[in-house]
């Protein structure tokens, strides 16, 4: 059975987002799809935009990353059409998640963002989650945007150490 390649790519994205209990970044989806050479970057961007416009996925920008989540409409669509994804592609996706789930989850479970507060200071908002539950939620006020950005970057690299330190000192 021949089908429109864009439809297949959309179903692959929906299948990926439905397989995990956390949002995936656009980069994570791209790494898999481009790594398997299913399509090219521009076509994948078109697919993500069309899925967003159709209300099947929701993007959320956090600093320089876009997190994608499947909507109820996307889940319903996938239910009707997932049989159009070959077993080989499903196996590739399932294997990818089996081999990378911890690193994928960690990448989207540690969030650092900053914004300018009404007082003129910058606030760095740092969150670490596990299975949707916030383990740490810290907001630090700092005098400059550069410092806030640096704090967010360091949070990505040092969150586990900081969490261990906090629990050791507070418990």
Mean pLDDT value across residues 112-141: 88
Pick the range with the lowest mean pLDDT from 17-31, 49-63, 105-119. Answer: 105-119
Q: Are residues 152 and 89 in the same domain?
A: no
Q: Sorting pLDDT into bands at 50, 70 and 90, what band is 11?
A: very high
Domain boundary among 56, 76, 107: 107
Token output for 59:
């993007």
Alpha-carbon gap, residue 83 to 130, rounded angstroms:
32
Query: What residue numbers bound the domain in which 73 lies?
Result: 5-107
The total number of structural domains that make up the chain: 2
Q: Are residues 77 and 47 in the same domain?
A: yes
Q: Are residues 11 and 72 in the same domain?
A: yes
Alpha-carbon gap, residue 93 to 85, rounded angstroms:
11
Q: Are residues 123 and 134 in the same domain?
A: yes
Whole-structure pTM value: 0.73
The predicted-structure confidence for 96-118, as pLDDT tens digits, reads as follows 998 888 778 777 778 888 999 99
Res 64 pLDDT > 80 = no
């Amino acid at each position: 059975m021949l089908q429109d390649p864009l439809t297949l790519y959309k179903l692959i994205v929906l299948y990926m987002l439905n397989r995990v209990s956390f949002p995936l970044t656009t980069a994570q989806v791209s790494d898999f799809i481009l790594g398997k050479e299913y399509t090219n970057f521009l076509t994948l961007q078109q697919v993500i935009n069309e899925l967003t416009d159709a209300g099947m996925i929701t993007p959320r920008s956090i600093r320089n990353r876009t997190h994608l989540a499947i909507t109820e409409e996307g889940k319903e669509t996938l239910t009707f059409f997932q049989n159009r994804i070959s077993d080989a592609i499903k196996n590739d996706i399932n294997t990818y998640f089996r081999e990378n789930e911890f690193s994928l989850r960690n990448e989207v479970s540690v969030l650092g963002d900053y914004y300018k507060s009404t007082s003129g200071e910058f606030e760095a908002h740092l969150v670490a989650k596990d299975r949707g539950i916030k383990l740490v939620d810290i907001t630090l006020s700092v005098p400059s945007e550069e410092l806030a950005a640096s704090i967010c970057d360091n949070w990505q690299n040092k969150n586990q150490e900081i969490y261990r330190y906090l629990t050791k000192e507070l418990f």
